Amino acid sequence: MELRLRVQTGFAWLFATVFVPCCAVTLSAPSALADVTSIFRPLSTPAQAVYEISLLTLAICAAIFLVVGGLLAYTIIRFRRRPGDERREPPQVYGSNQIELAWTVVPILIVFVLILATARTIYDVQGAILPADTLNVTVVGHQWWWEINYPKLGIMTANELHVPVSESDRRRPTRLRLESADVAHSFWVPQLAGKTDVIPNRRNSMWIEPIQPGTYVGNCAEYCGLQHARMLLRVIVHAPADFEKWVAAQQSPPVEDAQARAGRDLFFATSCINCHAIKTTTANGKFGPDLTHLMSRETLGSGVITNTEENLRSWVRDPQHIKPGALMPNMQFTDDELNQVVAYLLSLR
């Protein structure tokens, strides 16, 4: 096959297999993503701002895509190979000031518009003045889980951020202070706000203002090592009264369960307490999640498995089997010891 013909066939193929499907996917993406977490379904003030700017950016990019793709398609069809072309040389063109100016100036203007619009959104979100009674939460990224601390409420938990919902007559945003215990992470719950990096030796800040109760899933959005993909987080948004109930439950001391006595003794006799804290006890380790109300959480291992008795037993027996590389070692418990420790952990409601 002649080279020119091959190039033309190549372009036609590219057009059919890339350009057309890309258009279809772009147009259908927002509806197809309706069931999963998505920046196209914002339910919080900062996420709404991100959504609006992303629509503008997508619209501009789609216009560029259509113009470039359209010109390409036009050229392929209009200047396709015709019988009798073999002996003719195409006209030889050496530059055009108008065209070169157009493809230099227009992109600069487009980029400028995008920069200005983005800067305004960033300023609006970061410069927002929040009500005086805004809930303050410190989130610390660890390899590979999230420490969640409510300093004023005296609550320490992990991997599940509980916040109140904002209602039309009362705004209840939450300000998050983001810190890292080790490497760079990134806090991202797409329906609530944009990503914010979590950087060692630095305190970043962001805020969320959910307007609908429910569970919002997110994840670490910065590669942070072996289990980066399993550093999930959930934000549970409560109606005001439910939030007060959650706070009261978390502030209560751990339940003393006589049935779990043996497991408790074993727990406090092993190195578990070097890494985990349980309020009002001598366990005050800071390397792993606080366990005071472990069983109030939905998942184990930062979203890796649901928090059931069976999964808890598997996790304590060998965390490395479920989450290779996690810092929690296999404690080499015998089956009896395992049952006792799990019975104790189950009592931490």
Amino acid, single-letter form, for residue 203 = R
Token code pair at residue 65? 């895509």
Minimum CB separation from ligand CUA for residue 137, in Å?
Answer: 18
The secondary element (H helix, E strand) that includes residue 125 is helix 97-126
Q: Closest CB to ligand CUA among 218 and 319?
A: 218
Q: Closest CB to ligand CUA among 195 and 228?
A: 228
Residue 196 and residue 199: Cα distance in Å, rounded? 9
Q: Closest CB to ligand CUA among 185 and 264?
A: 185
Minimum CB separation from ligand CUA for residue 327, in Å?
Answer: 13
Minimum CB separation from ligand CUA for residue 288, in Å?
Answer: 15
Radius of gyration of the chain (CA): 28
Minimum CB separation from ligand CUA for residue 203, in Å?
Answer: 17
Looking from the CA of 111 toward its CB, the CA atoms found within 13 Å total 6
Minimum CB separation from ligand CUA for residue 220, in Å?
Answer: 3
Q: Closest CB to ligand CUA among 195 and 317?
A: 195
Residue with tokens 């609550």: 155
Greatest Cα pair distance, the chain, in angstroms, is 98
Binding residues for ligand CUA (CB under 6 A): 141, 144, 185, 220, 222-224, 228, 231
Minimum CB separation from ligand CUA for residue 185, in Å?
Answer: 3
Q: Closest CB to ligand CUA among 175 and 228?
A: 228
Q: Where are the beta strands (DSSP E) in the chain?
A: 135-142, 145-150, 155-158, 160-164, 174-180, 185-188, 196-198, 204-208, 214-220, 232-238, 299-300, 305-306
DSSP category for residue 42: -
Helices 335-346 and 309-317 pack at an angle, to 10 degrees, of: 130
Minimum CB separation from ligand CUA for residue 32, in Å?
Answer: 26
Q: Closest CB to ligand CUA among 228 and 313?
A: 228
Q: Closest CB to ligand CUA among 172 and 185?
A: 185
Q: CB atoms < 10 A from the CB of 232, how many?
A: 18
3-state secondary structure of 10: helix
Strand order in the sheet with 174-180: 155-158, 145-150, 135-142, 174-180, 204-208
Q: Closest CB to ligand CUA among 232 and 341?
A: 232
Minimum CB separation from ligand CUA for residue 4, in Å?
Answer: 49
